Amino acid sequence: MHCAFIRSFRIKPFIVFIIGILSAVALAGCGGPPPAQGWSSPVVDDGLVYYGTTTAKVAALDANTGVLKWEYPKDTNTPSLISVYSTPAVADGKVYFGAYDHKFYALDAVSGLPKWSQPYDVGAPVVATPLVSNNTIYFGANNSQFYALDAENGVPRWSIATKDKVWSNAVLDNGTLYFGSLGGLLYAVDPATGASKWTYDAKGMIVSTPLIANGAVYFGALNRFIAVDAASGALKWEKQLDESSEWIWANPTLRNGVIYFGTLAGRVYALDAATGAPKWAQPFVAGGQIRSAIVIKDNVGYFGTSDQKLYALDLDSAQLKWNPLPLQGPILASPALQGETLYVGTHGYNMYALNASDGTRKWCFDANANQACAQ
């Protein structure tokens, strides 16, 4: 999003939250104040929980105890990351992520020490979560570019221009890379060269990660949910949501032929993947905006909201499994589920490990104090 657009945007009721998000991530590029300190979903790998903290660091916690193993940067002599919106990607013993300081990093997964002599200078903030495949890192940035880097050394392999910023995470399926942009285009490109296979103009900002299944690409564009053919980009079906406030920020998830996603109006939808027809009589209504993906285990979907609550929803009946669990701080990123444990970060405050069966706490880490949360 360009600076002039930020200045000229006309406020409508449904846009108030959106302006807050877009302005926070865009103003630094317009010479304004730095954005909020980011939000990042946790990722669990080999006994550690990795995430970008709201103190503009990337941290690794012991998944069983919540004890801090390392954080980057470790000292005040290292320049600040400014903000971390990108969820770390863990592959081959490395942690990869982009930050708002215009850099892309590779750290040792065990020690947190840099693996490249210098981070790659993107030249713009990175919001998207990287995808790592075949020793290549794929991600988009706020300079309307999409990149492929060598995972061993950070050397660029190719880059392509996009229509506006890329916050959408890329997905690789059957030899094609898919991602969206704030300019409303969904891209299908060759992962080896970046050559275009097709584009689909959704005519609305695409923020969430595309879902690939059944030969189709599923994604949200503002308040429309769309399915296109994965091979050709031809439209299969489209679902227009009832309210203009229902921007689809959350990544869609799939279970038993049904797609689930939440909206900034606080509604959760269940749509038939083949037709887009609703599977519930009415969408489930939560108490706050939903940016979190619906993380699924068996027939239960877990997600967080801006009203500082974690929900557990029976996906067959659209009824709550247990009362929404109040946590400290809004939940602006997706939980991670590992076995019977949910890892949930709250914006500006804590990382929690919770029992998925009932939401009871296993541990809580306070990133501001770098210690266990006060009881």
pLDDT in tens, 97-119: 999 999 999 999 999 999 999 99
pTM of the full structure: 0.91
Q: pLDDT tens digits for 161-202? A: 999 999 999 999 999 999 999 999 999 999 999 999 999 999
At 323-363, the pLDDT tens digits run 999 999 999 999 999 999 999 999 988 999 999 999 999 99
Please give the biggest Cα pair distance in the chain.
57
Assigned domain for 47 exists: no
Classify residue 355: in a domain, yes or no. yes
CA 80 to chain CA mean position, Å: 22
- Tokens 């929803």 sit on residue: 313
- Integer Cα distance of 120 and 154 in angstroms: 6
Other C-beta atoms closer than 10 Å to the C-beta of 230 total 23
Across 258-271, average pLDDT? 97
Q: Hey, what amino acid is at 286?
A: A
For the ranges 27-31, 51-55, 189-193, the maximum mean pLDDT occurs at: 189-193
**pLDDT (average), residues 45-52:** 97
Evaluate whether 150 touches 114 at the Cβ level (below 8 Å).
no
* Within a domain: 312: yes
Report for 77-86, 108-117, 241-250: range of highest mean pLDDT: 108-117
Query: Is 369 within a domain?
Result: yes
161 φ/ψ angles, rounded to the nearest 5 degrees: -80, 145
What is the edge-to-edge ordering of all strands in the sheet holding 309-314? 295-297, 300-304, 309-314, 319-326
Evaluate the omega torsion of the peptide bond into residue 33 and state whether it is cis, within 30 degrees of 0: no
Establish if 374 belongs to a structural domain: yes
Residue 263: C-alpha distances to residues 48, 77, 249, 272, 276 (Å): 30, 41, 6, 17, 16
Asked if pLDDT for residue 5 goes beyond 50, the answer is: no
Q: Cβ-count burial of 23 within 10 angstroms (0-12 exposed, 13-18 middle, 19+ buried)?
A: middle
**What 3-state class would DSSP assign to 28?**
helix
Answer whether 245's CB lies under 8 Å from 220's CB. no
Report if residue 286 sits inside a domain: yes
- The boundaries of the domain holding residue 9 are 1-35
Tell whether 11 is covered by a domain: yes
**Considering its fold, how many domains does the chain have in total?**
2
In a domain? residue 97: no
CATH number at residue 313: 2.40.128.630
Q: Does residue 202 contact residue 180 with C-beta atoms inside 8 Å?
A: yes
Given a contact cutoff of 8 angstroms between Cβ atoms, the answer to whether 80 and 103 are in contact is: no
> What is the side-by-side order of every strand in the sheet holding 253-255?
253-255, 258-262, 267-272, 284-285
